[in-house]
Amino acid sequence: MTKQNVLVSDSPSALNMTITVAVSNSSIFTTATQKPPAAPGGYISISRKKLLKNLEINNGGPRANGWIDSMRASSPTHIKSTPSLADEQSSWILRHPSALDMFEQIIDASKGKQIVMFLDYDGTLSPIVEDPDQAFMSDAMRKTVKKLARCFPTAIVSGRCRDKVYSFVRLAELYYAGSHGMDIKGPAKGSKYKKGNQSVLFQPASEFLPMIDEVYAQLIEKTKSIPGAIVENNKFCVSVHYRCVEEKKWNELAQQVRSVLKEYPKLRLSSGRKVLEIRPTIKWDKGKALEFLLESLGFTNCTDVFPVYIGDDRTDEDAFKILRERGQGFGILVSKFPKETSASYSLQEPSEVMNFLQKMVEWKRQSLRGQAMV
Ligand SMILES: O=P(O)(O)OC[C@H]1O[C@H](O[C@H]2O[C@H](CO)[C@@H](O)[C@H](O)[C@H]2O)[C@H](O)[C@@H](O)[C@@H]1O
């Protein structure tokens, strides 16, 4: 296998595992009867909040220990397999059942409403791989998404730069929100979903462009001596990848990122799947992008819309929360392992996402056939 086609998986949400060990009386995992499905805003457990707090800017700069703890926690190298872990997994599945198993119920809930599809890219449409430039989606997935977009308005919502994610997906009929929703190419505002709609650009962080370029150049320079570190310019945000960095070098990498960021209080840091994400402090995220796109599609204050958002990352939680708050549609988390989430359902990996999308296409075609026969 070459480096490019090595598929990799993050271990069970180690952030959760670490916290469970560290605060044994407040495990985030509980049985279905003990804890209701995640409430809006309930993505971060209290103890995890504490952990993440260490990540945030503190006196002009993040605490080094917070960074390294979080990097370790979100990307474990040693996970113990215990019977209680199996129980926790079954309990989690009860609260976030497979969207494939629950397909009929999901479709029933959407009856009489316009389904709108929102799809994250990495880890959702394409499997996680070591080299971010090689995260291609399969032809089968592309064909499926193409068919899906014929049935429902469909948008890609990604942390990637919009052009980059477009170069992977290559479907002109979709809407695209890149840079964690800060770069949207969607339908002309207020216009109902129609083929050939004029598209509009919405870039709420455009004033940060020079700053992001500056920070990107500095991060390239500061991390060049750390083997495996990859800095990716996502236009309105920057990703620093450590998937291929030896764990003993993570601290050094965190220190370098920290030394750059302390000069930029208007930028904030979050973490994803073996990646540190640097982005503007503006109140804009994938959830806001979802709302913006719904509005652009003409669904402002509509009760007859049914948005479905599928994603695998912490940044997708902002969109899951919005759906819960609106009480519309639902979120589907792509994960093999239990994670705190505001999503209602789960799918394990991109191949299951493809099966789910195919089922949606098939259902839509059948319902159109049914209508034609009446
Ligand atoms: O919102 P997304 O579309 O999920 O983008 C989030 C980040 O995804 C990419 O990084 C992740 O996927 C890489 C390729 O599989 C993997 O190597 C990396 O470890 C993952 O974190 C992308 O490269 C980032 O820029 C996105 O922010």
The rounded Å distance from CA 133 to ligand 1 centre is 9
Q: Tell me the three state secondary structure of residue 305.
A: strand
Output the pLDDT for position 13. Answer: 35
The rounded Å distance from CA 132 to ligand 1 centre is 6
Taking CA atoms only, the protein residue closest to ligand 1 atom 23 is: 132
Taking CA atoms only, the protein residue closest to ligand 1 atom 5 is: 159
Q: Are 67 and 352 a contacting pair, CB within 8 Å?
A: no
Question: Sheet holding 267-272: strands in order across?
Answer: 230-233, 238-241, 275-280, 267-272
* pTM given for the model: 0.83
Which atom from ligand 1 is nearest to the alpha carbon of 122? 4
Say yes or no: CB of residue 123 within 6 Å of ligand 1.
yes
Kindly report each contact of residues 86-93 with a partner whose C-beta sits within 8 Å and lies 24 or more positions away, as own/partner: 87/31, 88/27, 88/29, 88/338, 89/337, 89/338, 91/29, 91/30, 91/31, 91/32, 91/338, 92/29, 92/338, 93/346
302 DSSP 8-state letter: -
Report the C-alpha gap between 368 and 119 in whole angstroms: 23
Say yes or no: CB of residue 120 within 6 Å of ligand 1.
yes
Token pair belonging to 172:
């002109």
pLDDT band at 15 (very low <50, low <70, confident <90, very high): very low
Q: pLDDT by residue (tens digit) across 171-207? A: 999 999 999 999 999 876 655 545 455 678 999 999 9
Say yes or no: CB of residue 331 within 6 Å of ligand 1.
no
pLDDT band at 371 (very low <50, low <70, confident <90, very high): confident
Bridge partners, 118 (sequence order): 155, 309
Closest CA to 161 of 197, 134, 121: 121
> Does 169 have pLDDT greater than 90?
yes
Say yes or no: CB of residue 97 within 6 Å of ligand 1.
no
pLDDT band at 21 (very low <50, low <70, confident <90, very high): very low
Say yes or no: CB of residue 129 within 6 Å of ligand 1.
yes
Output the pLDDT for position 48. Answer: 35
pLDDT band at 83 (very low <50, low <70, confident <90, very high): confident
Q: pLDDT by residue (tens digit) across 226-280? A: 999 999 999 999 999 999 999 999 999 999 999 999 999 999 999 999 999 999 9
How far is Cα of residue 178 from the mean position of the Cα atoms in its chain? 12
Strands 154-157 and 114-119: parallel
Taking CA atoms only, the protein residue closest to ligand 1 atom 4 is: 122
Kindly report the average pLDDT of the chain as a whole number: 82
Q: Are 132 and 8 a contacting pair, CB within 8 Å?
A: no
CB atoms within 10 A of CB 341: 26
Report the C-alpha gap between 370 and 374 in whole angstroms: 7
Q: Which residues contact 184 (CB under 8 A, 6 or more apart)?
A: 162, 175, 176, 177, 178, 201, 202, 203, 289, 292, 293
123: amino acid identity, one letter: G
Q: Determine which of 9-13, 30-34, 46-50, 288-292 has the lowest per-residue pLDDT on average.
A: 30-34
Strands 154-157 and 267-272: unpaired
The rounded Å distance from CA 130 to ligand 1 centre is 10
What Å distances lie between residue 122 and 60, 101, 160, 168, 334, CA to CA?
32, 23, 9, 10, 10
Report the C-alpha gap between 4 and 84 in whole angstroms: 36
Report the C-alpha gap between 171 and 38 in whole angstroms: 34
Q: pLDDT by residue (tens digit) across 107-141? A: 999 999 999 999 999 999 999 999 999 999 999 99
